[in-house]
């Protein structure tokens, strides 16, 4: 009996609760059964979902639960202080405290090794980062957690951005502070989107806390469609092509031909989309079953006609968060601000520390000097810098949000550069406003290839791997074995082709078959669901394959 309870309520590092595990759907089924009894009582409903979400996070991340609880408590009380502040200065102090606490926690878990290695490199020391939270837990509970190992709590980047947006929305008077700690805890920890988004704004979600539960037959059909669609994306497409092809190439690109490297890069673009959008489809579907609406996070991103359009379609909740809480406060497309130059100073410092070279610092200062001189001499150049500097700063910070490495700096910088170059190109392009099919095709084709190209750095585990992939793609021109490669990987490439075709289908056709599923009788939905579950079982990998964005 005790062992059974331990399996149900305990944490196992090897068996976390994730959407692709049967254990999660048993958990969700039981949670939904109890919810069906409590849903009419708003206060009880919110409290129940808060505690269920805490249990989910504990089953996913163990004692990192206490970090989530701390963030929840601190921002709950700080939000009240912001609202009650009698002066703007007083309110700003509390906002700054919220941001400082949240970013300090995030930085500790995400960048401790980076800063420690940097200090050791410069000073010749041998400092080792200490997990102060594990040390404190050992002292308080007489446990024996390893203190010399710092793991990144699952979902910390997402719920950190969520609590920061709450403090800022209270400051901007977009939402009033939540009075009940259980209601606020539910907002922060709602389990479908807790560990990988979408990032939910306080102004969008908190009003839903006080609405009555409702779920129409159409909403039920839509929710079921999203869940099945998300599982198909993740398991049948994303996981299969990763395990059977993409991971092999990216782990050792020099052992594969140039053609195989190219296909792996294209395949990764499909994998990361299928994986991440699959997660958010499932999250939105689960939330809808419980009467809550989460924001759209993907909108056919590979149909984008330019890089700026891509970022309006990809990870929309993060893109809009960066725009509203970073890009616009910097000055948007008007001009650089003091905040802009503080951000650039921070980015330059990060790049210098990453390199560990005084020459890199000299190059950075040289570029700054050249830009300042050109801005002084040429008014048009100064205007161009002012309207684009915030884009580069935002994209570079977005890259560093994913991790402290050259890989993410290059990836973020290339995406920023892509937006800036497009802004120049559209002023002279004769096809910019053309609706002809050929113009649309080429703009989508170029954008997709550019985005896929940048993913070489996003996916590559080191600069060496990324460089090897580039060398194989651009220098290995032996395509004599292409037919044999296609034959060997025929099923993987077929899945990739099907995945891309589905993605590029016209939106009205997708709406047609989604609408058809929603309108079908319940017994048809049950039959389709059973067939999909059987198919998922056939494709299920024998080992756990977590969602890609769990690591961020």
110's CB contacts (< 8 A; 6+ apart) are 152, 156, 157, 403, 404
Res. 142 pLDDT band, cuts 50 70 90: low
- For residue 462, pLDDT beyond 90: no
How much of the chain exceeds pLDDT 90, in percent?
43
Whether this prediction's pTM lies above 0.85 is answered by yes
123's CB contacts (< 8 A; 6+ apart) are none
Return the pLDDT at 423. 86
370's CB contacts (< 8 A; 6+ apart) are none
253 CA to centre of own chain: 26
Whole-angstrom distance, CA of residue 459 vs CA of residue 272: 9
- For residue 50, pLDDT beyond 90: yes
Average pLDDT over residues 255-270: 94
Whole-angstrom distance, CA of residue 433 vs CA of residue 426: 9
Return the pLDDT at 143. 66
How much of the chain exceeds pLDDT 70, in percent?
93
Peptide bond connecting 16 to the previous residue in cis, omega within 30 degrees of 0: no
pLDDT tens by residue, 106-139? 888 888 887 787 777 777 788 777 777 776 767 7
> In this structure, are residues 177 and 83 in contact, taking their beta carbons and an 8 Å threshold?
yes
- How many residues are recorded in the chain? 552
Domain ranges of the chain: 13-213, 214-298+480-552, 302-460
Res. 72 pLDDT band, cuts 50 70 90: very high
pLDDT tens by residue, 491-538? 999 999 999 999 999 999 999 999 999 999 999 999 999 998 888 888
Closest CA to 552 of 135, 15, 158: 158
DSSP 174-231: SSPPPS-HHHHHHHHH-GGGTTT-PPPPHHHHGGGGGSPP---HHHHHHHHHHHHHHH
Higher pLDDT, 92 or 337: 92
The packing angle between helices 88-123 and 65-84, to 10°, is 140
pLDDT tens by residue, 393-434? 888 888 888 887 888 888 998 999 999 888 888 888 777 777
Encoded tokens for 97: 């405290």
Q: How far apart are the first and last CA of the chain?
A: 37
Whole-angstrom distance, CA of residue 479 vs CA of residue 170: 59
> In this structure, are residues 395 and 416 in contact, taking their beta carbons and an 8 Å threshold?
yes
Q: Assign 142 to helix, strand or coil.
A: coil
The CA–CA distances, whole Å, from 511 to 224, 225, 485 equal 15, 12, 36
281 CA to centre of own chain: 13
Q: What is the largest CA-CA distance in the chain?
A: 79
pLDDT tens by residue, 228-253? 999 999 999 999 999 999 999 999 99
Q: Residue written as tokens 């973020």?
A: 412
114's CB contacts (< 8 A; 6+ apart) are 353, 354, 404
- For residue 314, pLDDT beyond 80: yes
| Out of 59-73, 132-146, 229-243, 355-369, least confident range | 132-146
Whole-angstrom distance, CA of residue 187 vs CA of residue 350: 33
pLDDT tens by residue, 265-274? 999 999 999 9
Res. 5 pLDDT band, cuts 50 70 90: very low
> In this structure, are residues 131 and 108 in contact, taking their beta carbons and an 8 Å threshold?
no
Return the pLDDT at 144. 64
Average pLDDT of the residues of the chain:
86
- For residue 103, pLDDT beyond 60: yes
pLDDT tens by residue, 427-454? 887 777 777 888 889 999 999 999 999 9
206's CB contacts (< 8 A; 6+ apart) are 175, 178, 183, 187
- For residue 541, pLDDT beyond 80: no
Return the pLDDT at 339. 76
């Amino acid at each position: 009996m005790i062992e059974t309870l331990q399996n149900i309520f305990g944490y196992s590092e090897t068996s976390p609760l994730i959407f692709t595990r049967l254990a999660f759907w048993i958990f969700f089924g039981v949670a939904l059964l109890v919810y069906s009894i409590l849903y009419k009582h708003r206060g009880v409903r919110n409290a129940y979902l808060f505690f269920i979400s805490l249990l989910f996070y504990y089953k996913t991340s163990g004692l990192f639960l206490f970090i989530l609880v701390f963030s929840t408590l601190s921002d709950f009380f700080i939000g009240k202080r912001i609202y009650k502040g009698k002066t703007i200065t007083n309110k700003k102090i509390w906002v700054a405290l919220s941001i400082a606490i949240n970013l300090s926690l995030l930085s500790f878990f995400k960048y401790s090794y980076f800063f420690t290695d940097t200090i050791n490199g410069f000073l010749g020391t041998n400092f080792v980062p200490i997990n102060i939270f594990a040390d404190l837990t050992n002292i308080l509970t007489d446990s024996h957690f390893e203190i010399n190992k710092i793991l990144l709590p699952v979902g910390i980047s997402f719920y950190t951005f969520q609590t920061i947006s709450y403090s800022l929305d209270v400051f901007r008077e977009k939402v009033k502070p939540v009075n009940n700690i259980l209601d606020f805890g539910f907002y922060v920890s709602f389990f479908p989107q807790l560990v990988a988004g979408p990032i939910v704004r306080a102004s969008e979600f908190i009003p839903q806390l006080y609405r009555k539960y409702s779920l129409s037959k159409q909403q039920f059909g839509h929710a079921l469609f999203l869940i099945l669609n998300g599982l198909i994306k993740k398991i049948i497409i994303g996981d299969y092509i990763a395990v059977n092809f993409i991971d092999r190439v990216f782990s050792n690109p020099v052992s594969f031909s140039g053609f195989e490297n190219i296909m792996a890069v294209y395949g990764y673009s499909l994998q990361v989309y299928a994986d991440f959008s699959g997660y958010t489809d499932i999250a939105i579907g689960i939330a809808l079953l419980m009467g809550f609406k989460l924001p759209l996070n993907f909108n056919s991103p590979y149909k984008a006609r330019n890089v700026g359009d891509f970022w309006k379609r990809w990870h929309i909740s993060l893109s809009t968060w960066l725009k509203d809480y970073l890009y616009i406060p910097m000055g948007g497309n008007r001009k650089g601000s003091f905040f802009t130059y503080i951000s650039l100073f921070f980015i330059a410092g990060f790049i210098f520390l990453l390199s560990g070279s005084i020459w890199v610092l000299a190059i950075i200062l040289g570029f700054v000097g050249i830009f300042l001189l050109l801005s002084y001499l040429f008014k048009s150049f100064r205007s161009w810098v002012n309207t684009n500097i915030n884009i580069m700063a935002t994209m570079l910070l977005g890259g560093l949000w994913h991790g402290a490495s050259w890989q993410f700096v290059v990836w973020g910088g290339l995406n920023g550069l892509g937006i800036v170059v497009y802004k120049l190109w559209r002023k002279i392009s004769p096809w910019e406003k053309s609706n002809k099919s050929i113009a649309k095709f080429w703009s989508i084709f170029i954008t997709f290839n550019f985005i896929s190209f940048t993913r070489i750095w996003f996916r590559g585990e080191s600069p060496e791997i990324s460089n090897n992939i580039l060398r194989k793609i651009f220098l290995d021109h032996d395509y004599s074995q292409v037919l044999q490669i296609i034959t060997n990987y025929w099923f993987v490439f077929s899945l990739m082709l099907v995945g891309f075709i589905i993605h590029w289908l016209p939106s009205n056709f997708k709406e047609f078959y989604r609408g058809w599923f929603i309108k079908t009788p319940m017994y048809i939905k049950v039959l389709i669901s059973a067939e999909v579950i059987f198919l998922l079982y056939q494709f299920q990998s024998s080992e756990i394959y977590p969602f890609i964005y769990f690591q961020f």
